[in-house]
Copies of this chain bind each other. A is one copy, B any other.
Amino acid sequence: MSVKDGKTEQLIKETAKRIFLTEGKMLATTQDIADAAGVNRTLLHYYFRSRDVLFNMVFKEALTKLRTRVHEVLGSEMPFKQKVENLVNVFYEELTESPYLETFIALHLNQEPEKYEELFIALPGGRERMKNFLKEIQREMDKGTIAENKPVNFFINLFALMAYPFVARPIYLKMFDLTNAGYNKLLTERKSSILSTLFKN
């Protein structure tokens, strides 16, 4: 058994995940990843055959994890506002770990949509859960707790308010003269702002 205790494959994948998704070095080379993991570059090919395979594996796993957790919340039984609150918490947890998921989507998905078809295969019962959530949104509009509109717009608004600050970090660091720590604090504070913006009371 090797010094790495047979965990080299796992080590490489974890390192790739960190570099691509957490640090956002989307153009990192196989050498960059191997160096960061402290292994020989050929091992990367030995375990994953190509950079492409490793890259896609990392994003597929992260996206599937996010989608699964979001759907867990969507499908849960609880009052609407509480559900949205949970959604915000789950989304923040995942985006804190993988803030560059959105960047990946913007960068690659428009260019080669066929290549990433499988990333968007509906989860078991996903269509149904989505339909129900949109119905819930409609009911809230009828009750007057949220602004009247197409339910799909509430949905997009919700995700815009959650996701955008993670994508646009560098702009606001400059614009408001913040440190990374200060911006993280702002992100946390924003949770309540998301709710108070979406809900009328």
9-residue interface stretch from A35-43, A77-85, A86-94, A99-107: A99-107
A interface size (C-beta, 8 A)? 50
User: Considering the complex, which residues of chain A in the window 157-180 have a beta carbon less than 8 Å from any beta carbon of chain B?
Assistant: 157, 159-161, 163-165, 167-172, 174-176
Residues of B within 8 A of A164 (CB): 156, 159-160, 163-164, 167
Residues of B within 8 A of A160 (CB): 160-161, 163-165, 168
Assembly CA distance A111 to B102 (angstroms): 16
Chain B residue with minimal CB distance to A126? Answer: B175
- Given B27, B105, B152, B161, which contacts A186 in the complex, CB threshold below 8 Å? B152
Is B147 a contact partner of A196 (Cβ separation < 8 A)?
yes
Chain A 96-117 per-residue mask, 1 if CB under 8 angstroms from chain B, else 0: 0000101101110111010000
Q: CA A100 – CA B193 in complex, angstroms?
A: 27
Whether A148 and B113, one on each chain, are in contact in the complex, defined by CB atoms closer than 8 angstroms, is no
Question: Once bound together, how far apart are the Cα atoms of A85 and B152, in whole Å?
Answer: 21
Chain A contact residues, CB within 8 Å of chain B: 24-27, 100, 102-103, 105-107, 109-111, 113, 120, 130, 147-150, 152-154, 156-157, 159-161, 163-165, 167-172, 174-176, 186, 189-190, 192-194, 196-198, 200
